[in-house]
Chains A and B, each alone.
Chain A
Amino acid sequence: MDFINGITLIANYIVIPGLTYGSQLALGALGITIIYSVLRFSNFAHGEFMSFGAMNSILLSWLFISLGVTLNPLPTAIIVLPIAIVLTISYCIIMDKFIFKFYRKQNSKSVINLIVSIGVMFFTGGLIRFIVGPGDKNFFDGERFILKARTFKNITGLNEGLTLKTTQGITIILSVLLVILLFWFLNKTKTGKSMRAYSDNKELALLSGINPEKVVLITWIITGTLACVAGTLYGLDKSYKPFTYLHLVLPIFSAAIVGGVGNPVGAIIGGFVIAFSELIITFAYKKIFFYFLPINFVPEGLLQILSTDYKIAISFLILVLVLLIKPTGIYKGKII
């Protein structure tokens, strides 16, 4: 019984949150990777694009709730997501037309584009705070849990509860759907193939008659969609605060680089690697030892390797290690 309690504890505090957070990071890292492989620069503004997407979902959710349009027991954000995606895509395309395009026409170096993207990041961040303010925003409505700890305990008779929040369920399901859709698009459609060809060998793609402006447009459409969905899911799950998205850039970049920049499969794997490392290293293991060891052997301390305050440091550490030891990442990507 103790053994099953221990497993439940791990599932509740590491596996389910890890899968959720990992999916959110994976979606973010996919956006970074796609911009990197097609437009050849590291887009630091991606975190703010996610924030922008989440903001759209929040404002639209409030509007829909005030109009009485809800999707109980699911959060209203699900209904407004398509509109929020369109708005986010429009914003990405506007940024591209007015800013990134100028540098692309000049064939600017990747590092110049990177600095430009930092500018776009600050601008977008400012714009968001100007529109919704810097404070916490909660836009979750509907049923909070799919599975409550108490219900689980009653059913199984265990000491430990297992909870599954609605947001966690939605995050995992939506991420899987979106990733399937993305891979289908990239591998099976003519446009997707032409995009991969352009990313592989730009000159030859131009020779083959692939229209570069169309490829760039599609790239932003995909990026905007991924950013909006990832941002909204993260906001739903953890409550929305503009500044958290500024910090989110680091784990997302780590995820993309760990997996191998430019490789979509790598971005997904990287997302989960980062998410699980953060959780595993900051988890307090005392209770687990309580279940797995004879009672006399259980140590006194919390058995936490690092305080959760240092969560961000873990992705940074992983990033540095990967760049030192295996700069191409798990799946051979492009070296930055």
Chain B
Amino acid sequence: MYLLSGENITCGYGAVDIVTNCNIGVYKGKISSVVGPNGAGKSTAMKALFGLLPIKNGKVVFDGEDITNLPPQQRVLKGMGFVPQTNNIFPSLTVQENLEIGSFIDQNNKNEMLKYVYDLFPILKDKKNQDAGELSGGQRQQVAVGRALMTKPKLLMLDEPSAGVSPIIMDGLFTKIKEIANQGTAVLMVEQNAKQALKISDLGFVLSQGKNLFTDSGNSLLANKEVRQAFLGG
């Protein structure tokens, strides 16, 4: 049973459908990755799952409950955290204030999660009084993930977490994502770096032109000859 599942989702902007009849899901405490070429509708599907985009067809189920028509803020209260691809921090607020805003809607786990985030990303603790806008790309991404973790979500959704960070930082980031999942928070991410994402994923979804092409475990997809040739560069 999926923790979050999008069943036969169709959505898009205006009259154009970007995603058609798509199935995406993530198990409790596991990692799922959505990969595919540019313009495959990965980010669009992600936004639809979080309620940032109206769904024309299909339904979204979280923790056994139909949340298709729930606004994003309510989904945060249900236990979903979302990290957008761009503009995902408050640049003129300090690192600590960024994290505090993360727990604005739900103060229950504030102190516990603040400690958890600082333990997960020790560099943020050193820079907690610095403006988040002054940080490097990788550190900003850590702030963004940290902000989404502040409500102690059951599921963390990441839209292209490795966009705009250097390869070394990227490795570190994927390690942290794995760590987050090991602590019990499920992770659903959209990634350009298909190979690396699938390596740490329990489940992978290959999307192309808004449709499911392959769905399998991360390792099987990596081993699949067809997937490798078409999407992973051989």
B68-116 CB contacts (< 8 Å) to partner A: 72-73, 76-77, 82, 84, 87-93, 97, 100-102, 104-106
Q: 8 nearest interchain CB pairs?
A: A209-B105, A200-B90, A209-B73, A197-B101, A197-B90, A208-B104, A208-B101, A200-B92
- Residues of A in contact (CB 8 Å), total 15
* Contact with A201, one of B72, B76, B87, B102 (Cβ below 8 angstroms): B87
Is residue B147 contacting chain A, with contact meaning CB distance below 8 A? yes
Chain B hits for A205, CB < 8 A:
90, 101
Asked whether B90 lies within 8 Å of A209 as measured between CB atoms, the reply is no
A residues whose Cβ falls under 8 Å from a Cβ of B: 190, 193-194, 196-197, 200-201, 203-210
* Contact with A207, one of B73, B91, B93, B106 (Cβ below 8 angstroms): B73
Asked whether A207 lies within 8 Å of B76 as measured between CB atoms, the reply is yes
Chain A hits for B72, CB < 8 A:
206-207
The smallest C-beta distance from B179 to any residue of chain A, in angstroms, reads 23
B residues whose Cβ falls under 8 Å from a Cβ of A: 72-73, 76-77, 82, 84, 87-93, 97, 100-102, 104-106, 147
Nearest-neighbor residue (CB-CB) of A187 within chain B: B97
Asked whether B87 lies within 8 Å of A196 as measured between CB atoms, the reply is no
Chain B hits for A208, CB < 8 A:
76, 101-102, 104-105, 147
The smallest C-beta distance from B115 to any residue of chain A, in angstroms, reads 19
Asked whether B76 lies within 8 Å of A209 as measured between CB atoms, the reply is yes
Asked whether A194 lies within 8 Å of B92 as measured between CB atoms, the reply is no
Asked whether A207 lies within 8 Å of B82 as measured between CB atoms, the reply is yes
Asked whether A193 lies within 8 Å of B73 as measured between CB atoms, the reply is no
In the complex where A209-B73, A209-B76 touch, is A204 in contact with B89 (Cβ < 8 A)? yes
A-B contact pairs, 22 of them (CB 8 A): A190-B104, A193-B101, A194-B101, A194-B104, A197-B104, A200-B92, A200-B93, A201-B90, A203-B87, A204-B84, A205-B101, A206-B72, A207-B84, A208-B101, A208-B102, A208-B105, A208-B147, A209-B73, A209-B76, A209-B77, A209-B104, A210-B101
Nearest-neighbor residue (CB-CB) of B100 within chain A: A193
A206 to B74, CA, bound (A): 11
Asked whether B97 lies within 8 Å of A193 as measured between CB atoms, the reply is yes
Asked whether A201 lies within 8 Å of B91 as measured between CB atoms, the reply is yes
A194 to B90, CA, bound (A): 10
A197 to B90, CA, bound (A): 6
Chain A hits for B91, CB < 8 A:
200-201
A210 to B72, CA, bound (A): 12
A201 to B133, CA, bound (A): 12
Chain A hits for B106, CB < 8 A:
209
Chain A hits for B76, CB < 8 A:
207-209
Asked whether A206 lies within 8 Å of B90 as measured between CB atoms, the reply is no
Chain A hits for B100, CB < 8 A:
190, 193
Of the listed residues A201, A205, A206, A210, the one surrounded by the most CB atoms of chain B closer than 10 A to its CB is A201
Chain A hits for B77, CB < 8 A:
209
